[in-house]
């Protein structure tokens, strides 16, 4: 079946400027961390991608190791891009990353120039692309000089293999150093991708202020704490949840009774706002204008549709914010 996108797709989405750049990103972006790999169902993730673009989501976020198996999310995205989205490539922001383990030997992870350039070459082949819009260093390398890693990112832009550079999982001190090096090289950092949710708030200590000062965009990942900030765990663990999957990330140590009790209380506030808990968790991040876009995942189209409804109610009154803060403390 041939795909024709919704002609009214840009009427549904708001776009925020990304730092000090010409790029605007949709308030919700789609991450392909899970559910798009070789173990997943083609027609299901194809339908998710269709719904995303039909709803005004222009940004699709990948990494070299996404799957499972690693690399398969990029391969699958490349197939659907060629089949369905190729006429609309210039309407899309496609990102990928390198930093975690991808192949054997001493050059298959971290932040050397050898690894980053080789990894992006592999990613481009898997996605059947000439370039990506954003290329991220996925995590800091404690052993490779930061100057080498940033020089590799600068080289990649100058080679035309990426238009913009991003950082992910960088703490504030190393972020500031990396940004300064990139500025000196003439390839400024576009965006930072940290883990940030109601249950993971380290970015509030200093990183958000640094992003604002450096005029760099912010795209939080895991806004729902790997699914914990939803209502589906309030009645036990569903069979289709990430807890039940062998490659899942949630565990009983993470989902403590205290966390579950907080989820129950937050769910009550969400109901009072006529939102699901997931919708409120996304809206809670977007209330801060330093957040450019929120990166969501989806295991099925209905889950993405639910996340998109968060955009209908982004405002919070003082009483709601105080009640949420009291629960989270």
Q: Which pLDDT band, with edges at 50, 70 and 90, does 250 fall under?
A: low
Burial tier of 95 (Cβ tally within 10 Å: 0-12, 13-18, 19+)? buried
pLDDT at 26 over 80: yes
Q: Does residue 190 contact residue 215 with C-beta atoms inside 8 Å?
A: no
Compute CA 148 distance to the chain's CA centroid, rounded to the nearest angstrom: 25
Domain boundaries, the chain: 9-225+275-315
pLDDT at 99 over 80: yes
pLDDT at 246 over 60: no
Q: Is 133 helix (H, G, I), strand (E, B) or coil?
A: strand
pLDDT at 249 over 60: no
Q: Is 130 helix (H, G, I), strand (E, B) or coil?
A: coil
Report pLDDT digits (tens) over 43-84. Answer: 999 999 999 999 999 999 999 999 999 999 999 999 999 999
Looking at 3.40.50.720, 3.30.559.30, 3.50.50.60, 3.20.20.100, the CATH number of the domain 9-225+275-315 comes to 3.20.20.100
Backbone angles phi, psi at 169, to 5 degrees: 65, 25
Report pLDDT digits (tens) over 264-288. Answer: 999 999 999 999 999 999 999 999 9
User: ω into residue 69 within 30 of 0, thus cis?
Assistant: yes
> Radius of gyration (Cα) for the chain, nearest Å?
19
pLDDT at 243 over 60: no
Q: Which pLDDT band, with edges at 50, 70 and 90, does 234 fall under?
A: confident
Q: Does residue 196 contact residue 229 with C-beta atoms inside 8 Å?
A: no
**Position with higher pLDDT, 18 vs 245:** 18
- Report the pLDDT value the prediction gives residue 256, as an integer from 0 to 100: 84
| C-alpha span between 113 and 156 (Å, rounded) | 10
């Amino acid at each position: 079946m041939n795909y024709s996108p919704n002609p009214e797709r840009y009427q549904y989405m708001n776009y925020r400027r990304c730092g000090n750049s010409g790029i605007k990103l949709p308030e919700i972006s789609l991450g392909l961390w899970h559910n798009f790999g070789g173990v997943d169902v083609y027609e299901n993730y194809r339908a998710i991608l269709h719904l995303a673009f039909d709803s005004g989501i222009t940004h699709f976020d990948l990494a070299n190791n996404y799957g499972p198996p690693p690399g398969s999310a990029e391969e699958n995205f490349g197939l659907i891009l060629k089949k369905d989205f190729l006429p609309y490539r210039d309407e899309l922001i496609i990102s990928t990353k390198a930093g975690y383990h991808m192949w054997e030997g001493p050059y298959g992870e971290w932040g050397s120039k050898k690894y980053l350039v080789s990894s992006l070459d592999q990613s481009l082949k898997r996605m059947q692309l000439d370039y990506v819009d954003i290329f991220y260093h996925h995590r800091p390398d404690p052993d490779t000089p930061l100057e080498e890693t940033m020089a590799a990112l600068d080289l990649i832009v100058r080679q035309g293999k990426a238009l913009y550079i991003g950082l992910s999982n960088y703490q504030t001190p190393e972020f500031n150093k990396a940004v300064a090096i990139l500025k000196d090289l003439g390839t400024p950092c576009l965006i930072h991708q940290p883990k940030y949710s109601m249950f993971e708030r380290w970015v509030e200590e200093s990183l958000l202020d640094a992003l604002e000062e450096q005029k760099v965009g912010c795209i939080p990942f895991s806004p729902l704490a790997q699914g914990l900030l939803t209502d589906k765990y309030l009645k036990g663990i569903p069979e289709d949840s990430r807890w039940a999957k062998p490659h899942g990330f949630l565990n009983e140590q993470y989902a403590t009774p205290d966390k579950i009790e907080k989820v129950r209380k937050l769910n009550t506030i969400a109901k009072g706002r006529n939102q699901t808990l997931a919708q409120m968790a996304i809206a809670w991040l977007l209330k801060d204008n330093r957040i450019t876009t929120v990166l969501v995942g989806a295991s099925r189209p209905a889950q993405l549709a639910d996340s998109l409804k968060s955009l209908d109610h982004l405002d919070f009154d003082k009483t709601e914010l105080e009640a949420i803060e009291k629960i989270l403390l």
